[in-house]
Amino acid sequence: MFKFLLKPNWLAAHILVITLALSLSSLGLWQLNRLKQTKIYNQKVLTKMTLAPKSLAELDKEYDFRSNLTDLYYLPVRLKGHFDPKNEILLRGRSYSGQAGYSILTPFITNNYTIMVERGWVPIKYNNPPIKEAMPPEGEIEILGKIYPSQQIPSGWLANFAPKDPTGKLKIMAYANMQRISEQTDYDLLDFYIKLDQQIPEQTKDLPLALIPEKLDNDNHLSYALQWFSFVLIGLVGYALIIRKRALER
């Protein structure tokens, strides 16, 4: 009844179906591996975020800012100094509860370091820094936040779709790129920045709105894996039904 399956055209069909099934299954397994890696990475970040905050001097001595930045990212940090709102910039394309606006990046000057601090969010109408409605307190301030890597312009084919900043001195940028910001200031900025969690004294003005804590999720790797496996199942079941129909016809 099924001897026709040994004919050359059917053998070629078998090879094609098996090849497609293996290829799609490998894509599903790849997504499961990506899911595992993402979970490990997220757990590592969460663990770092719950550590006790240290000063920049302590972190510099422990990690060396000039050579080992990766291990610094997402660590809590506590420092004292003052803001320089005259040299702050806005990061465009930042939304808050569905509203378009900007994040404010302001230089924070300590005795030994100058670092950019993302202080919060303002609506899109505030587009000319420094923004008086979001001025930080004057004098010495103590801040608590987490270290984030300097943002880079995407490379490769993604660069064709990424927003780009013009040359020259800018008040509004697409990326929190410390090297780019250093070029238009007199500061020797550290090559990372801080997202503000808390400051003492607290902000007396209504703006900027506090940053929404980031949620670490597992992306869509599981759903993608299930899609690939479902394609395999649909294909194999469909092929089996085709074989059954041809067998009955014979």
The reply to whether 96 and 165 lie within a common domain is yes
The reply to whether 13 and 83 lie within a common domain is no
The reply to whether 57 and 157 lie within a common domain is yes
**Res 167: pLDDT:** 77
Q: How many domains does the chain have?
A: 2
Strands 114-123 and 172-173 come out as unpaired
The reply to whether 94 and 124 lie within a common domain is yes
Q: 90, 105 in Cβ contact below 8 A? A: yes
Alpha helices in 144-183 (DSSP H): 178-182
In a domain, 24, yes or no: yes
The reply to whether 55 and 164 lie within a common domain is yes
In a domain, 210, yes or no: no
Instruction: Report the SS3 class of residue 209.
Output: strand
The reply to whether 38 and 66 lie within a common domain is no
Rounded CA-CA distance 193/137 in Å is 20
Enumerate helices (H) and strands (E) in the chain, giving the number of each: 4, 7
**Residue holding tokens 């291990």?**
71
The reply to whether 185 and 63 lie within a common domain is yes
Domain that holds residue 224: 3-42+220-249
The reply to whether 37 and 55 lie within a common domain is no
Tens-binned pLDDT, residue by residue, of the chain (250 aa): 677 777 888 888 889 999 999 999 999 999 999 999 999 999 999 999 999 999 999 998 888 887 778 889 999 999 999 999 999 999 998 999 889 999 999 999 999 899 999 999 999 999 999 999 999 998 999 999 999 999 987 776 666 666 777 777 889 999 999 988 998 888 889 999 999 999 999 988 889 999 888 787 888 899 999 999 999 999 999 888 888 888 777 6
Q: How far is CA 101 from CA 70, 97, 158, 189, 210, in A?
A: 29, 10, 24, 25, 13
The reply to whether 29 and 60 lie within a common domain is no
Q: How far is CA 170 from CA 20, 22, 163, 173, 183, in A?
A: 51, 51, 14, 7, 10
The reply to whether 121 and 179 lie within a common domain is yes
**Res 217: pLDDT:** 80
**Res 1: pLDDT:** 65
CATH number for the domain including 121? 2.40.50
Q: 89, 173 in Cβ contact below 8 A? A: yes
Number of Cβ within 10 Å of residue 194's Cβ equals: 23
Rounded CA-CA distance 165/179 in Å is 13
Q: 209, 96 in Cβ contact below 8 A? A: yes
